Amino acid sequence: MNVIEMTGVVKQYGSVLALDHVSMSIPRGQIVAILGPNGAGKTTLLEILEGLQRADAGEIHVLDTDIRKNTRDVKNRIGISLQNTSFFDRLSVEETLHLFGAFFSYHRSVEGLLKHVGLFEKRHQRISQLSGGQQQRVALALALINDPELVFLDEPTTGLDPAARRDIWTLVESMRQEGRTVLLTTHYMEEAAYLADTVVIMDHGKILVQGTVDQLLRDYAPEQTVVLEGEGLDYLMQAPWNFHHDHDQLIAHVVNAADQMGTLLDLIRRQGGVIHRLSIREATLEDVFLRLTGRRLAV
Ligand SMILES: Nc1ncnc2c1ncn2[C@@H]1O[C@H](COP(=O)(O)OP(=O)(O)OP(=O)(O)O)[C@@H](O)[C@H]1O
């Protein structure tokens, strides 16, 4: 069953077409990552699904409810972590959770939630005294306060160091284990690849492609990259290998590269030359984005 169904959704800000006829279905119980560069339309998409913004056109059903007609019921069943959460700096962590809990007819135990996100020891501290990673954990606790079925996380790890990012990933995974659906945005392809059951790639207000990481790699970046450093190897730039120079390296994109290595090394043994380094790089979502847009997913 799908928790989100949207068809032909359009959102325009003046001359900027932020969402250009977007259609998307999101199944229950998955972590779904919306991946795209700055300005792709990720936040706009999330805010429309959350009922915080109105679309100019299109059909949008969230949890079987038409979000354009009935936002109130949906808001009780979803959790939201915005891109820039503004907290009340003078409140403690615990007071902040109690305050947000009071907005809902039912809310989870604040103590349990603090323990779940690893902030029980910090409960009496003001939010302004917390690290960026801890503040982000408060934001996730707030998103979970009403025990939501569907959680929206807008760039949950932007600006965090690797350890803090890992902590957030663990929390996001625990949301899935609890049976929630998580829709998050990110410009980190490693985050999408690590967390997501389904990746949705956006660019210029359009969804370019949606699928599992394996499907996307198979369909759009089936080759591995063979990287060679050495001397006297320029004959490899001819067919069938077609290596090209990239600075000091020779690069080739090869399907089933590991199986081809014996043939390559035999050729080098026969033709001569010296290898200093040889490596095979697996394709990533960056390669998929490059194939789809001709550009890098620059951060
Ligand atoms: N309130 C607004 N008024 C005018 N233009 C806006 C507004 N919000 C977003 N935009 C524009 O709409 C486009 C999509 O913005 P959006 O914030 O949805 O992208 P994004 O993918 O979330 O980007 P980022 O990764 O930087 O957060 C951008 O060109 C942005 O400048």
Q: What is the pLDDT of residue 194?
A: 95
Give SS3 for 141: helix
Q: Which two tokens stand for residue 287?
A: 């390669």
Q: Is 36 in the pocket of ligand 1 (CB under 6 A)?
A: yes
Average model confidence (pLDDT) for the chain? 93
Tell me, what's the ipTM?
Answer: 0.96
Within the chain, residue ranges assigned H as helices are: 42-49, 71-77, 93-101, 110-116, 132-144, 162-177, 189-195, 213-220, 257-271, 285-293
Q: Is 32 in the pocket of ligand 1 (CB under 6 A)?
A: no
Q: What is the pLDDT of residue 201?
A: 95
Give SS3 for 116: helix
Q: Is 81 in the pocket of ligand 1 (CB under 6 A)?
A: no
pLDDT band at 72 (very low <50, low <70, confident <90, very high): confident
DSSP label at residue 119: -
Q: With CA atoms as reference, report the closest residue to 183 among 292, 51, 28.
A: 28
Give the Cα separation of 260 and 252 in Å (integer).
12
Phi, then psi, of 223 in degrees rounded to 5: -90, 155
Q: Which two tokens stand for residue 30?
A: 């998955």
Q: What predicted TM-score, i.e. pTM, was given to this entire model? A: 0.90
pLDDT in tens, 5-54: 999 999 999 999 999 999 999 999 999 999 999 899 999 999 999 999 99
* CA-proximal residue: ligand 1, atom 1 (nearest): 13
pLDDT band at 84 (very low <50, low <70, confident <90, very high): confident
* CA-proximal residue: ligand 1, atom 2 (nearest): 13
Ligand 1, residues 15, 34, 42: which to mutate, most atoms within 8 A of Cβ?
Answer: 42
Give me the domains of the chain, ranges plus CATH numbers. 2-218 (3.40.50.300), 223-282 (no CATH)
Q: With CA atoms as reference, report the closest residue to 188 among 229, 160, 212.
A: 160
Q: Is 41 in the pocket of ligand 1 (CB under 6 A)?
A: yes
Give the Cα separation of 168 and 162 in Å (integer).
10
